[in-house]
Amino acid sequence: MNTVLVIAAHPDDEVLGCGGAIARHSHQGDAVHVLILAEGVTSRDGQRDRTQRTPELSALATAAEAAHRILGSQSLTLQDFPDNRMDSCALLDIVKPIERAIATHNPTLIYTHHSGDLNIDHRRIHEAVVTAARPLPDSGVQTLLFFEVPSSTEWQVPGASSPFVPNWFIDIAAILEQKLAALDAYASEMSPFPIRDRAKQSQPFAEPAPECRPQRPFAWVDTDFFSPSAAQSSRISTQNISTQR
């Protein structure tokens, strides 16, 4: 059994980015823990005012819990970093709760945002996760996988940052309906086009499976990349759910 930690910015990112992978890990008996750092919603106002948005924040938390139950993850933690204002937070203040989650759950595999995203919170969390999961001698983290979020990652302009070039693919055909049901739990957050429809599609750069089944792409980096043998062993540990090119 593997222990997996998913670290996302906003409620619904975890489903859009790797909801299929969460369901698949859960089906095969892995323990999946989800940490969502930003509150959502409050960026719709000129000034952050959680009190004014209490009903929406409560609805988002309820939706996140519903999606969590559908996907079968073991735990869900919601934090209240300011929505789309995480560039106003010290990086260390973002790193610390991630370090605590890693210490609590001791994951071997972490999913989080790709660095080249348009969204500032996504980029900030990528930076914080890579920092928190740095390869210290006592770290059990073997693999980091970076997902895209439709209608965010691909909206970054060419040349502004690292492009999302996936080299890790997870076949979610068997649990696609489960992912879509989890997306439906976020109905208040989800626009019918393009986000939900894109979530149903194979990505244009995804390697087609022999059966042409829908897949989710991931760019990945291995924290043991200085050691080919260790890197190989960590790839093997997830080989039964993934294919590489």
Could you tell me the smallest distance in angstroms from the CB atom of residue 213 to Zn ion?
26
Q: Is 13 in the site for Zn ion (CB under 5 A)?
A: yes
Distance CA 141, CA 10 (A): 23
Stretch that binds Zn ion, among 8-16, 77-85, 129-137, 167-175 (CB under 5 A): 8-16
Shortest Cβ contact with Zn ion: which residue? 10
The single residue among 2, 4, 10, 37 that binds Zn ion, judged by CB under 5 A, is 10
Could you tell me the smallest distance in angstroms from the CB atom of residue 181 to Zn ion?
20
Could you tell me the smallest distance in angstroms from the CB atom of residue 138 to Zn ion?
31
Stretch that binds Zn ion, among 10-18, 83-91, 92-100, 158-166 (CB under 5 A): 10-18
Q: Is 9 in the site for Zn ion (CB under 5 A)?
A: yes
Q: Where are the alpha helices (DSSP H) in 140-196?
A: 176-185
Using the minimum distance from each CB to Zn ion, give the nearer residue, 10 or 33. Answer: 10
* Token pair in block for residue 121: 């919170």
Could you tell me the smallest distance in angstroms from the CB atom of residue 119 to Zn ion?
5
Distance CA 144, CA 210 (A): 26
Q: For residue 206, count other CB atoms closer than 10 A to its CB.
A: 15
Could you tell me the smallest distance in angstroms from the CB atom of residue 235 to Zn ion?
28
Examine residue 194 and say whether the peptide bond preceding it is cis (omega within 30 degrees of 0).
yes
Q: Is 195 in the site for Zn ion (CB under 5 A)?
A: no
Nearest to 79 by CA among 15, 36, 129, 16: 36
What is the identity of the amino acid at 173? A
106 touches 3 (CB < 8 A): yes
Task: Give residues in contact with Zn ion (CB under 5 A).
Answer: 9-10, 13
